[in-house]
């Protein structure tokens, strides 16, 4: 598969009164054309900042991309001029956020918001754009499009607004949709409807999908490949099968042991990860996970383990990645 | 705890004395319109004829999508809402019939843990005061020195360092604040705790810590929980029995494993199939029949069975008749005449 997005050694920091927040710290991963990649991790680990960095939406002050490269279709997005990056945003890379109300303009009709971007990015006439907008609404499961285009965001339920956001994301025929916790605020049946819709449309139109989530079930159901993030770093990368069936990083192992599973009978006691994630202003020169890690030893305090191959395309940032296999079975 | 011990505990649980009984509970809210001259335009039937019992030592789960009436049910039990009709019987006593004085004593026995520990903890009080005040007011521990000791014990039980008594809520993480919320619920030695989305806002690794804490405390203090949540995996894990609500009605009630192995109500089936399981192999084999459409407004809910507009099994009679809650297997109750 051809590489669509290649992020290399990306570092994004926030310069705050409490110190420098190393929100994204030497992150490398890629997204292939048409595939669904998940970025999974707990709150505050840098998922959103890494997504916003791709589109150069980090607010300065206090934030800034301080290193690395982001190549999209061969171009380094970090080297583009402001007008150039604006054409990439919304046109080639679209974003869907958790709370659609904050990304939809409350005082403009849905129709205006949909047609405006198509006129701007695709050079359509008003008439063409309106016709296309009705079509898009139908695609995302909103009937009666002509009437709906006249309505304002507050006329729509949370689930319907997220459908509108997806229509908006699709309107300019992007190559990549980045969905940042797109269904976290929604009920589980609506979540399933929305994610299934995104997955179907991405398959049908060959759009790559990057799903950012903290929900391990969502990742298992929809993702082809998975990046696990902890304290600003990718700690493990692999196919969904690899990540769930033979995890090679203690954090991934810990996450899987701490979620209850509805498909298994009750009786298993959850094995939580003790302690808390670190303060991203106080990272040292060792593995950020080591205070919570059962496998930690001297070396983990002396150097940051690099993300390296453990076989078959799977990568792990752990010095003991080759020793973890048997313990996993013992722990579960 | 080994699976075996837990299983035998499960068997004994729920066979004991009934601690709480809710009989045909209804809570309607008037919906008004107009700013100058407000007039009633209808009722939100937030809870519409819900009945269940909880045995001492049991954890009963209450699940359903937002707006189905879970919180309102809990608030009626806590007497924070006056039921439109129905009865709430706790330890054999009908709460409506209690006088003021009896009510104060009774209030100690039922406590609540909310979803958002931040908004439910007074930001200007230190943790020590948050826990100490109720003990002083209710005279659980009038002696200040003993009270300090008990606060330290409670914090330790809840997995926090005793020195956190001197901290303010904003000086703690979300998981730590939730532990304070739990300690506060425990400080008056309750029998019964309503957990309303108590772990919903927490990250999975922290959520597992708090779930284990709730299990341990139940064991240690012989507590009984009504565990309200929208996360079905958590509810399945923690609860002995589970009740499913939809638009103010209870549609299904069964032992936890039975409900998840063998859901009978079409709504429960749809709800379960919407929940993704953290295993790609299992997911690839599951059928994903997600219900179409959205939950209708509770202001003028559908006639007959409230689920009929979205139900794949619905027939004409479902539009007219409110389904009876039937026991189809021992302990497995379903409100659907079509199964
Ligand atoms: N505008 C900002 N100013 C200071 N710190 C920020 C800002 N935005 C994000 N951060 C910090 O960056 C880190 C990563 O945040 P984020 O990417 O939003 O996490 P996630 O999406 O994984 O929950 C967090 O520690 C957060 O506090
Ligand atoms: N004080 C109130 N006034 C009017 N309507 C209310 C009030 N409290 C709750 N409701 C309505 O009652 C229904 C049930 O709400 P709630 O019990 O909070 O549901 P859940 O906890 O299951 O999400 C909802 O439609 C809600 O909007
Ligand atoms: Mg985020
Ligand atoms: Mg609620």
* Structure-model confidence comparison of residues B284 and A330, the more confident one: B284
pLDDT in tens, B26-79: 999 988 777 777 777 788 999 999 999 999 999 999 999 989 999 999 999 999
| Residue A331 pLDDT grade (very low, low, confident, very high; cuts 50, 70, 90) | very low
Which segments within chain B are labelled E, that is strand? 18-33, 39-55, 59-63, 85-90, 93-94, 110-113, 192-196, 224-228, 241-246, 249-255, 326-329, 332-334
| Residue B117 pLDDT grade (very low, low, confident, very high; cuts 50, 70, 90) | low
Q: Is A84 helix (H, G, I), strand (E, B) or coil?
A: helix
Residue nearest to atom 26 of ligand 2 (CA): B67
Helices and strands of chain B, counted as H and E runs: 13, 12
- Best mutation site among A10, A19, A49, A51 for ligand 1, i.e. most ligand atoms within 8 A of its Cβ? A49
Q: Residue B49 and residue B250: Cα distance in Å, rounded? A: 8
Q: Is A225 helix (H, G, I), strand (E, B) or coil?
A: strand
Query: Per the domain annotation, does B218 fall within a domain?
Result: no
pLDDT in tens, A6-52: 999 999 999 999 899 999 999 999 999 999 999 999 989 999 999 99
Among chain A residues, the shortest Cα distance to B172 is held by A276
Residue nearest to atom 27 of ligand 2 (CA): B67
Residue A136 has pLDDT above 90, yes or no: yes
**Cα–Cα distances in angstroms (integers) from residue A301 to residues A292, A305, B62, B128, B277, in the given order:** 13, 10, 45, 36, 35
Mean of pLDDT over chain B: 90
For residue B71, report the distance from its CA to the centre of ligand 2, in Å: 7
Q: B121, B169 in Cβ contact below 8 A?
A: yes
CATH, residue B74: 3.40.50.300
Contacts of B338 (CB under 8 A, 6+ apart): B266, B313, B314, B315, B318
List residues near ligand 1 (CB under 6 A).
A 14, 16, 21, 23, 41, 43-49, 59, 62-63, 280
Q: Which of A196, A241, A259 sits opposite B278 (nearest CB)?
A: A259
CA dihedral over B201, A22, A75, A236, signed as positive or negative: negative
- Best mutation site among B32, B46, B200, B230 for ligand 2, i.e. most ligand atoms within 8 A of its Cβ? B46
Q: Which two tokens stand for residue B293?
A: 């459409």
Q: Which of A42, A222, A267 sits opposite B203 (nearest CB)?
A: A42
Write out the residue range of the structural domain in which residue B102 sits: 3-107+231-334
Q: Residue A207 and residue A174: Cα distance in Å, rounded? A: 7
Query: Per the domain annotation, does B126 fall within a domain?
Result: no
Q: Is B113 helix (H, G, I), strand (E, B) or coil?
A: strand
Among chain A residues, the shortest Cα distance to B209 is held by A272
Which pLDDT value is given to residue A326? 55
Q: Which of B159, B170, B188, B175 is nearest to B127 (CA)?
A: B170
Q: Which two tokens stand for residue A53?
A: 């960095």
pLDDT in tens, A269-303: 999 999 889 999 999 999 999 999 999 999 999 99
pLDDT in tens, A185-206: 888 998 999 999 999 989 999 9
Query: Per the domain annotation, does B265 fall within a domain?
Result: yes
Q: In what order do the strands lie in the sheet with A225-230?
A: A93-96, A176-180, A208-213, A36-40, A225-230, A233-239, A314-316, A308-311
Residue B12 has phi, psi (to 5 degrees) of -75, -30
Which of A298-302, B2-6, B272-276, B306-310 is least confident?
B2-6
Q: B227, B60 in Cβ contact below 8 A?
A: yes
Q: Which of B104, B78, B288 is nearest to A191 (CA)?
A: B288
pLDDT in tens, B165-191: 999 998 888 888 999 999 999 999 999
Which pLDDT value is given to residue B15? 61
Query: Per the domain annotation, does B149 fall within a domain?
Result: no
Which pLDDT value is given to residue A314? 97
Residue B159 has pLDDT above 90, yes or no: no
**What is the rounded (10 degree) CA torsion for B132, B135, B137, B139?**
-140
Query: Per the domain annotation, does B186 fall within a domain?
Result: no
Residue nearest to atom 13 of ligand 1 (CA): A23
pLDDT in tens, A229-271: 999 999 999 999 999 999 999 999 999 999 999 999 998 899 9
Query: Per the domain annotation, does B31 fall within a domain?
Result: yes
Residue B16 has phi, psi (to 5 degrees) of -80, -165
Mean of pLDDT over chain A: 93
Q: Is A196 on the interface with B (CB under 8 A)?
A: yes
Residue B153 has phi, psi (to 5 degrees) of -65, -45
Which pLDDT value is given to residue A230? 98
Q: Which of A160, A164, A165 is nearest to A187 (CA)?
A: A160
Contacts of A192 (CB under 8 A, 6+ apart): B273, B274, B275, B276, B288, B290
Q: Which two tokens stand for residue A63?
A: 């934030």
Residue A42 has phi, psi (to 5 degrees) of -85, 170
Query: Per the domain annotation, does B148 fall within a domain?
Result: no
Q: Which two tokens stand for residue B111?
A: 């406590």
Domains in chain B, number? 1
Q: Residue A317 and residue A304: Cα distance in Å, rounded? A: 8
Which pLDDT value is given to residue B2? 44
Q: In what order do the strands lie in the sheet with A19-32?
A: A19-32, A3-16, A63-72, A75-76
Q: Once rounded to an integer, what is the mean pLDDT over residues A321-326?
A: 82
Q: Which two tokens stand for residue B215?
A: 């299990």
Interchain contact, B237 vs A260, CB within 8 Å:
yes
Which pLDDT value is given to residue A159? 87
Which pLDDT value is given to residue A276? 87
Which pLDDT value is given to residue B105? 80
Percent of chain A with pLDDT over 70: 97
Q: Once rounded to an integer, what is the mean pLDDT over residues B284-289?
A: 86
Give how far B216 is from chain A: nearest CA, Å.
11
Q: Which of B215, B200, B183 is nearest to B6 (CA)?
A: B215
Q: Is A16 helix (H, G, I), strand (E, B) or coil?
A: strand
Q: Is B272 helix (H, G, I), strand (E, B) or coil?
A: helix
Residue A234 has phi, psi (to 5 degrees) of -80, 120
Query: Per the domain annotation, does B199 fall within a domain?
Result: no
Which of A139-143, A147-151, B115-119, B301-305 is least confident?
B115-119
Q: Which two tokens stand for residue B289?
A: 């029949």
Q: Once rounded to an integer, what is the mean pLDDT over residues B145-163?
A: 92
């Amino acid at each position: 598969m051809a590489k669509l997005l290649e992020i290399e050694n990306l570092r994004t920091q926030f310069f705050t009164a409490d110190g420098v927040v190393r929100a994204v710290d030497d992150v490398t991963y890629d997204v292939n054309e048409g595939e669904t990649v998940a970025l999974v991790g707990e709150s505050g680990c840098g998922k959103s900042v890494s997504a916003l960095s791709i589109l150069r939406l980090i607010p300065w002050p206090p934030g800034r991309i301080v290193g690395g490269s982001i190549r999209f279709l061969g171009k380094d997005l970090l080297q583009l001029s402001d007008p150039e990056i604006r054409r990439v945003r919304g046109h080639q890379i679209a974003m869907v956020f958790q709370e659609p109300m904050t990304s939809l303009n409350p005082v403009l009709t849905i129709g205006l918001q949909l047609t405006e971007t198509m006129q701007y990015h695709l050079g359509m006439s008003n008439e063409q754009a309106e016709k296309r907008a009705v079509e898009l609404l139908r695609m995302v499961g909103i009937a009666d499009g002509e009437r709906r285009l006249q309505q304002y965001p507050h006329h729509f339920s949370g689930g319907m607004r997220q459908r509108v956001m997806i229509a908006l994301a699709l309107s300019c025929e992007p190559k990549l949709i980045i969905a940042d916790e797109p269904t976290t605020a929604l009920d589980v049946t609506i979540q399933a409807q929305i994610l299934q819709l995104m997955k179907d449309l991405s398959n049908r139109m060959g759009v790559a999908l990057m799903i950012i989530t903290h929900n391990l079930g969502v990742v298992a159901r929809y993702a082809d490949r998975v990046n696990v993030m902890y304290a600003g770093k990718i700690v493990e990368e692999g196919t969904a099968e690899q990540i769930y069936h033979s995890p090679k990083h203690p954090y991934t192992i810990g996450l899987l042991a701490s979620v209850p599973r509805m498909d298994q009978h009750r009786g298993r006691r959850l094995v939580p990860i003790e302690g808390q994630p670190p303060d991203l202003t106080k990272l040292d020169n060792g593995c950020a996970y080591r205070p919570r890690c059962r496998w930690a030893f001297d070396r983990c305090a002396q150097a940051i383990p690099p993300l390296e191959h453990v076989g078959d395309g799977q990568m792990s940032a752990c010095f003991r990645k080759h020793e973890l296999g048997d313990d996993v079975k013992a722990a579960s | 705890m080994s699976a075996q011990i837990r299983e035998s505990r499960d068997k004994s649980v729920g066979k004991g004395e009934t601690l709480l009984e809710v009989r045909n509970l209804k809570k309607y809210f008037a919906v008004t319109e107009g700013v100058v001259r407000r007039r009633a335009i209808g009722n939100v039937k937030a809870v519409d004829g819900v009945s269940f019992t909880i045995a001492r030592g049991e954890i009963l789960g209450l699940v359903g999508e937002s707006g189905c009436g879970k919180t309102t049910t809990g608030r009626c039990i806590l007497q924070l809402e006056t039921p439109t009709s129905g009865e709430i019987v706790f330890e054999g006593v009908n709460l409506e019939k209690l006088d003021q004085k009896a009510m104060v004593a009774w209030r100690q026995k039922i406590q609540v843990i909310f979803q958002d520990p931040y908004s439910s903890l007074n930001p200007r009080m230190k943790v020590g005061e948050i826990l100490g005040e109720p003990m002083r007011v209710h005279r659980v521990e009038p002696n200040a020195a003993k009270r300090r000791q008990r606060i330290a014990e409670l914090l330790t039980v809840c997995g926090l360092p005793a020195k956190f008594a001197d901290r303010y809520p904003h000086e703690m993480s979300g998981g730590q604040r939730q532990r304070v919320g739990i300690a506060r619920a425990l400080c008056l030695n309750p029998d019964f705790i309503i957990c309303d989305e108590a772990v919903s806002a927490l990250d999975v690794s922290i959520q597992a810590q708090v779930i284990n804490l709730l299990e341990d405390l139940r064991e240690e203090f012989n507590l009984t929980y009504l565990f309200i949540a929208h996360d079905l995996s958590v509810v399945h894990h923690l609860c002995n029995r589970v009740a499913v609500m939809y638009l103010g009605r209870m549609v299904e009630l069964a032992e936890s494993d039975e409900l998840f192995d063998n859901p009978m109500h079409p709504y429960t089936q749809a709800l379960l199939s919407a929940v993704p399981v953290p295993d790609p192999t299992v997911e690839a084999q599951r059928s994903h029949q997600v219900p179409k459409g959205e939950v209708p407004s509770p202001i003028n809910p559908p006639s007959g069975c409230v689920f009929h507009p979205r139900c794949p099994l619905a027939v004409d009679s479902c539009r007219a008749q409110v389904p009876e809650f039937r026991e189809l297997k021992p302990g497995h109750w379903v409100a659907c005449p079509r199964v």
